[in-house]
Amino acid sequence: MAQSPKPHQLDLNSIKDSKILRVNVYTGLAEVVRQFTVNLGQGDNKVVISGLPNVLVKESLRVEGHGSCTIHDVSLSEIPYPATPKSSPKLDELVAQRTVIDKALTRCQRAINTLNSFQTTIAVQTLEPAKLHDAHANIERVAQELDDKLIDLEEQKKLLHVEINKERLLLNQSAETDGVAGPGLRQRVSINLFADKAGQVELVITYGVSNAGWSAAYDIYVKTDTKDKPVSLLYKASIVQNTGEAWEDVKLTLETITPTFGISIPDLPPWTLSIYRPPPPVPLAKMARGSALGGSADKRKKSTRDGGRERKRERERERKESSSSEEDEEEDVMAFGLFDSEDHYAGRPGAAAVRRRNLFVSSKSNVVASFSVPGIMTVPSDGEGHNVTITELELGAEMSWICVPRKLTKVHLS
């Protein structure tokens, strides 16, 4: 059985092999449109695009093709991190140097301890008074040499510690980038296409990213020496993005709406409604008969008094239940009237059909504005605000001056 030929695979990097056509910035999101130019072979092709941002919104990914090809499948996956190398030749050399310095520090500290012990054990019987000065001078000189050596070794150890940490950081960064994607750019798109003939095809990828947005800012300038439109209002936009990819020389559009992705029709569960009917009250005669069946006369008197109180409470309870049952009956009629046809009470004199409560719209603030930044702009992925001017307005205003006295010990009297 003949096997189907293996698809022609192309590996692309989103940063190096594409250009950004435009970026639409929303409040909290941004939509990036990238264009790729690829050479497809006749038949099945597989285009793998790596280096897309980690903050890519999966539901927003769209792929379009311009050329003689058909897109069969599009999938999004994350590039796995390779195993971090534990060491390198340079790191091994630095660790060996640190081991040598640690041993030298141990010997130097041992020599200092020995010298201190020797200095405390010098006796007058073993040393002539004339040589005491020379002995202490020699001890001081040797101690100074050992202290200088100890300080130098500790400084070398600190420098080696910094170099070792730097080398380990480089190893971790090389594992993160691994020649495929940079930090924060580990999303990969696989596109399966069928080309009728070999040739060049343009692929346009549109995706949304978080960690981006814009906010409005205002500057107000007032000229006190003029009466004709003294107020200048500067409407600006502060664009911030930290998506991992830089927007270099792109066309920016600022949107005042927020798009939604992956919206589906909600599935509402059934809600069963029923009419509450209270249980019938207990007959008063039955309760009185039960209370009359007592033993002694005292108990019967007590039960009579208790029965009187109970009958009083029972009468109050019956009045409340009767009033509530009448209200329930009215509610039942109203409730069934909502579901009956309008001519249910047509044959009854003086009966009017129950009116339905209509909904009303309380807000119509659906104004959408888009601001296109003239020319091209570069927004790096640094999380800092980059300002652009949207418009400048000259406004008229009436000036009012407020004078607040100053509290000082000096005063001018006239």
Average pLDDT over residues 31-39: 95
Note whether residue 100 is domain-resident.
yes
Report residue 174: phi and psi, to 5°.
Answer: -65, -30
Q: What confidence category does residue 229 fall into, taking pLDDT thresholds of 50, 70 and 90?
A: confident
| pLDDT tens for each residue of 175-227 | 655 555 567 888 999 999 999 889 999 999 999 999 999 998 889 988 888 87
User: How many domains in the chain?
Assistant: 2
> Residue 126: its pLDDT value, please?
66
pLDDT for 389 equals: 85
| pLDDT (0 to 100) of residue 335 | 37
Q: Is residue 293 domain-resident?
A: yes
Angle in degrees, CA 356, 362, 367, rounded to 5: 140
pLDDT of 399 strictly over 50:
yes
Query: How confident is residue 318, by pLDDT bands cut at 50, 70 and 90?
Result: low
Provide mean pLDDT across the span 391-402.
86
How many CA atoms, within 13 angstroms, populate the side-chain half-sphere of residue 180? 15
Q: Structural domain of residue 331, as residue ranges?
A: 284-345
Residue 303 resides in a domain: yes
Report yes or no on 201 lying in a domain: no
Note the pLDDT of residue 119.
77
Round to whole Å and give the CA distance between 15 and 181.
Answer: 9
Mean pLDDT of the chain: 79
For residue 51, is it within any domain? no
Please state the pTM of the whole predicted model: 0.56
Which of 345, 360, 387 terminates a domain? The answer is 345
Is residue 115 a part of any domain in this protein? yes
- Report helix, strand or coil for 339: helix
Neighbouring residues of 400: CB distance < 8 A, sequence distance ≥ 6? none
Rounded to an integer, what distance in angstroms lies between the CA atom of residue 414 and that of residue 409?
A: 16
Looking at per-residue confidence, does 8 or 350 come out higher? Answer: 8
Highest mean pLDDT among 26-35, 285-294, 305-314, 392-401: 26-35
Encode pLDDT of 47-71 as tens digits.
999 999 999 999 999 999 888 889 9
Burial of residue 220 (CB within 10 Å: 0-12, 13-18, 19+) is exposed
Of 148, 177, 206, the domain-final residue: 177
Residue 143 belongs to some domain of the structure: yes
Has residue 203 been placed in a domain?
Answer: no
pLDDT digits (tens, 9 = 90+) for 271-310: 988 898 888 887 776 655 555 444 444 544 454 555 556 6
- Please say which residue of 177, 205, 232 terminates a domain: 177
